[in-house]
Amino acid sequence: MGERKGQNKYYPPDFNPEKHGSLNRYHNSHPLRERARKLSQGILVIRFEMPYNIWCDGCKNHIGMGVRYNAEKKKVGNYYTTPIYRFRMKCHLCVNYIEMQTDPANCDYVIVSGASRKEERWDMEDNEQVLTTEHEKKEKLETDAMFRLEHGEADRSTLKKALPTLSHIQEAQNAWKDDFALNSMLRRHFRPMRTNRN
């Protein structure tokens, strides 16, 4: 039945394909229906999902990441060739409007007005996470011998600092390495107890 949805359309007797072109033009409607009501102003209504936790400036309530809104999407500029879009939505708890826009330079969303971001970002270096090597750094490592030597020295010192933690993790992993033998030993231990109970 689903495959016939696109084929079975009612064409009224006064419909003329040369005059009207399509059923949408005949009915004076848009294929996107209500979502395209402000298309003449360059605004398309979309379903926007909150990318991170925010605080509404109007009612001071928390709005969680993943909450969905009907937002007005409008192109406001370009970052090189990537379009920058602005999203305007009404808070579901009050009458305040929240405006956000894309930030292609940092692969993020920026709050323009109506809310403030709940700060949950961290610096990878402060968090002692291993940073990925950038493309320029990778090229320099391949071509510059002195830079490779200095970088290797820094890597070795980082490894020395992390070695006790890594060895502790390795020992914990090795304790559960042969799970079949551990399971067999446990079953062997409980089997006599189970037979005594019966």
The residue extents of the domains of the chain are: 12-117, 135-197
Mean pLDDT per segment of 10 residues, for the chain of length 198 residues?
A: 62 80 73 74 88 92 92 92 94 93 91 90 67 68 79 80 85 81 88 83
CA angle 133, 137, 142 (to 5 degrees): 105
Angle between helices 145-175 and 135-143 (to 10 degrees): 110
CA pair distance 185, 177, nearest whole angstrom: 14
Amino acid symbol at 48: F
How confident is the model at residue 5, as a pLDDT? 60
For 57-90, write each residue's pLDDT tens digit.
999 999 999 999 999 999 999 998 999 999 999 9
Q: Which two tokens mark 51?
A: 């990318």
User: Are 72 and 88 contacting, i.e. CB atoms less than 8 angstroms apart?
Assistant: yes
Those residues whose C-beta lies under 8 Å from the C-beta of residue 118, and which sit 6 or more positions away, are 52, 53, 54, 55, 62
The arrangement of strands across the sheet holding 43-49 comes to 43-49, 68-79, 82-90, 97-103, 108-113
Distance linking the first and last C-alpha atoms of the chain: 59
User: Are 52 and 109 contacting, i.e. CB atoms less than 8 angstroms apart?
Assistant: yes
How confident is the model at residue 141, as a pLDDT? 75
How confident is the model at residue 7, as a pLDDT? 66
